[in-house]
Chains A and B, each alone.
Chain A
Amino acid sequence: MINFQYLRTTTAKSAIALLGKDKNAKFLAGGTNLIDLMKRGVTAPEKLIDINHVPLKQIRQIGNKIHIGALASNTAVADHPLIKEKLPLLSRALQAGASAQLRNVATVGGNMMQRTRCGYFYDIEMPCNKRQPGTGCGAMEGFNRMHAIFGTSEKCIAVHPSDMCVALIALDAEVILANAKGERKLSFKDFHRLAGDTPQLDNNLKADEMIIGLEIPTNNLAKNYHYLKVRDRASYAFALVSVAAAFEIVNNKITDVRLAMGGVAHKPWRLTASEIFLKGKEASLTNFEQAAQLAMKDAKSFGGNDFKLKLAPNTIIEALNLAKSKA
């Protein structure tokens, strides 16, 4: 690993000030993705600002919102009684990701900031517009089994690898960001970006900003929910396709429904059209099938990932069925 300057700080204010001094510095939290990328030479920051001692680990409810600090570990969030009771979908999604060892150190903020696991991005001998803009996309006509089917661009067909983020977009989370001037809130759906012409940018975090935490509104989705992750082995693998499904049924009708997918796009993919279709309808297999069909409207595959065009709708239907059977 190329050596770097290491700075350690204990307050968000000083972390932001240090970042302000050097826009090329990177925050170091759990490090499970960043250190890996540095070892492979994908990234080589000159300066790391260790923020592990910044007190942003709280998980608590204030009014009708659940607040999660950016430095809470994936394990801490998944196992927290409040999350298990009020946001079990988030808990399940977190448990579906990585391994126990990684979840113990990986943080909420770091999970949001993790880079794609596209093999062409990781292999520095290969062309990759995300790693080195302008060099081309190796995946487009290469091995693209893991790659995106929604919202792709000519520059990049990588997917965002997170499970947690799929649940968060379904739960209408908001991200709290801060710079030296103050804080701002960003809807979770606007945090990550599509690749477009700038695949090097994964998200809309500004160069001088720090992720402070999340706010998630409480809901009535803790009864009928499921996070279904389809992958190459039973555990500890990235998703081929994953679906977060949750709904509320009153008098046999769906009154609120959330659907989002992972492993299919450059960002967590919310299935808005399917949600609109299901609202007010019965939670029946026929309706689930139609909702899944609606979700696939603009899907486009690239050879290696053609199977996702069939796998994705099937996973949506199965996730909805499993959510229903929880009642």
Chain B
Amino acid sequence: MLVSTSGVTFLLPINFKEISFSFYFKFRDGNTGKTVNFYRRIHNNEDSGNATIYKHPTMKSSEQKPNQGDSRRDFLKKTSVITAIALTPGTAIKAAENNADERFAELFEKIPLKLTVNNKAYQTTVEPRVTLLEYLREELHLTGTKKGCDHGQCGACTVHVDGQRVNACLSLAVMNEGKKITTIEGLANGDTLHPMQAAFIKHDGFQCGYCTPGQIMSAVACVREGHANSRAEISEYMSGNICRCGAYPNIVDAIIEVKEGGETI
């Protein structure tokens, strides 16, 4: 039984030859009463005129991938959309009922995700390819965490995951199921700045400020880890955070002040 349908969304076609829609359905199984979310993108291919399952424009065609065999995508591409949707609920409910330790995304473009960000619990669904960084910025609008290089080389996206500093750009959101995330927005206590934030301001630990959220998150972790015992040690353990303005000496000053302040941070 179809219990609800969210409207049809237009996605901006990248090559302007294809038009994509995304559908979001909610199904309820009459027998078990369980609700299953179903999300599917459909695009209209100009050449064939047939509606097919959405394929990312940059994805290689199946001709280029001879090993693909009878994969999910091939199967669905050969099947009409209506058939695919008609077939999906039963199978999807079966997957949802299966409490095994494996979570299959095969039937969903998006998969469920539960996590805590800055002490607030979130329950959502995301595409597997969404990184933690993109999820924080685009979905939760926590734009304090910056996208710098997007390849784990600059540290601008540093956040804490279960207390450990990580590069959010190299972690998929779905890998963080059940984790507690802290971003720069979660550091201050109301209007009272975190001691590291205050120290960065006092010591002028930035110029343009783009790397600063990552620097501060990394600096807090550096002190907590016990790696802030000398200027040399701080430089080594802060080396994953690049500052193109070159505020390094002032950043080290700020970290030393917080460390020597002896406050539990």
Contacts and interface: CB of A to CB of B under 8 A. Distances in A.
Interface of A: 1-11, 14, 18, 24, 28, 31-32, 35-36, 38-41, 44, 46, 48, 50, 52-53, 75, 98-102, 104-105, 234-236
Nearest to A2: B59
A14 B236 CA distance: 40
Contacts of B166: 101, 104-105
A18 B106 CA distance: 13
Given A2-B59, A2-B129, A32-B167, A101 B218 contact: yes
Contacts of A236: 239-240
Interface stretch (B12-20, B80-88, B171-179, B200-208): B171-179
Nearest to B174: A6
A67 B106 CA distance: 36
A100 B225 contact: yes
B235 interface: yes
B56 A3 contact: yes
Contacts of A8: 101-103, 174, 177
B60 interface: yes
12 contacts: A2-B60, A8-B102, A8-B103, A8-B174, A9-B101, A35-B131, A38-B129, A39-B151, A40-B151, A44-B60, A101-B165, A235-B239
Interface in B167-192: 167, 170-172, 174-175, 177
Interface string B29-70: 000000000000000000000000000101110000101100
Contacts of A100: 165, 218, 221-222, 225, 227, 237, 239-240
Contacts of A48: 128
Contacts of A102: 152, 167, 170, 240
B142 interface: no
A44 B72 CA distance: 16
Contact of B128 (A4, A32, A44, A75): A4
Contacts of A14: 101-102
A86 B164 CA distance: 26
Contact of A7 (B104, B175, B236): B104
B101 A11 contact: yes
A266 to B, nearest CB: 23
Contact of A9 (B102, B131, B236, B237): B102
Given A36-B151, A50-B174, A104 B164 contact: yes
Given A36-B151, A100-B222, A104-B166, A5 B106 contact: yes
A101 B167 contact: yes
Interface string B228-250: 00000001110111000000000
Contacts of B236: 234-235
B5 to A, nearest CB: 23
Interface string B130-164: 01000000000000000000111001001000001
B253 interface: no
Contacts of B227: 100
